[in-house]
C-alpha cells in the first residue's frame, strides 16, 4: 500500500514538471499569406481572411501587424518565447495592399531598457521619517462632539 502511495506521489510531482505552453495571437497558414497579392488585394479582403490586426501603425504608411507568439514556462521560471511569427501588411491611401512582409523570432531586435530614475521635485523621506512622521501630530483625549473637526478658526 505504501509503495502505491509513493508511486502516485512521484507521478504527481513529475506531472508538475511539464512545461506550460501558451499561444497568443493569430495563427496564419502559409498558403493564406501567399494568397495576398500586392496591388490587387483590398483591406476588406485581408480583414475577412485574417480578422482584425494585432496592431497597426499610428502614422505614416498604414501597416497592419498580425502577431503569433508561443511561450513555454517551466514551474516558477520566467517564460521563454519558443516561436514568434509576424506578418506585416502595408496599404496605400485607397486601401490596396502594397507589400507583405514576414518576420520570425530571429528577426527580432533586443531593445536595451534604461534603468535611470527621473528626478522629481519635493522632499524624499527616509524610513524613520515615514515611520515616525505622525508622532505628536494628533491630540488624543476628550473632544467636544459639538465642535467640528479640522483646523481651528483664527
Other C-beta atoms closer than 10 Å to the C-beta of 42 total: 13
Nearest-angstrom CA–CA distance, 53 and 97: 14
In a domain, 137, yes or no: no
Q: Which domain holds residue 36?
A: 18-107
Residue numbers of the chain with a pLDDT score lower than 50: none
In a domain, 124, yes or no: no
In a domain, 3, yes or no: no
Tens digits of residue pLDDT in 58-70: 888 899 999 888 8
- The pTM for the full model equals 0.59
In a domain, 7, yes or no: no
Tens digits of residue pLDDT in 33-46: 888 889 999 999 99
Beta bridge partners of 87: 66, 102
In a domain, 8, yes or no: no
**pLDDT for residue 94:** 92
Q: Domain total for the chain? A: 1
**pLDDT for residue 88:** 92
Amino acid at each position: 500500500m505504501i509503495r502505491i502511495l509513493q508511486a502516485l506521489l512521484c507521478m504527481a510531482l513529475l506531472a508538475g514538471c511539464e512545461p506550460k505552453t501558451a499561444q497568443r495571437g493569430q495563427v496564419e497558414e502559409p498558403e493564406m499569406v501567399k494568397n495576398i497579392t500586392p496591388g490587387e488585394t483590398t483591406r476588406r479582403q485581408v480583414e475577412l481572411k485574417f480578422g482584425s490586426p494585432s496592431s497597426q501603425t499610428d502614422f505614416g504608411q498604414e501597416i497592419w501587424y498580425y502577431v503569433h507568439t508561443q511561450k513555454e514556462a517551466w514551474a516558477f521560471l520566467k517564460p521563454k518565447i519558443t516561436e514568434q511569427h509576424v506578418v506585416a501588411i502595408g496599404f496605400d491611401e485607397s486601401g490596396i495592399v502594397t507589400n507583405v512582409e514576414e518576420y520570425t523570432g530571429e528577426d527580432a531586435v533586443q531593445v536595451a531598457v534604461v534603468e535611470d530614475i527621473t528626478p522629481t521635485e519635493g522632499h524624499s523621506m527616509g524610513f524613520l521619517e515615514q515611520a515616525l512622521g505622525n508622532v505628536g501630530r494628533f491630540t488624543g483625549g476628550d473632544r467636544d462632539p459639538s465642535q467640528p473637526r479640522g483646523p481651528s478658526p483664527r
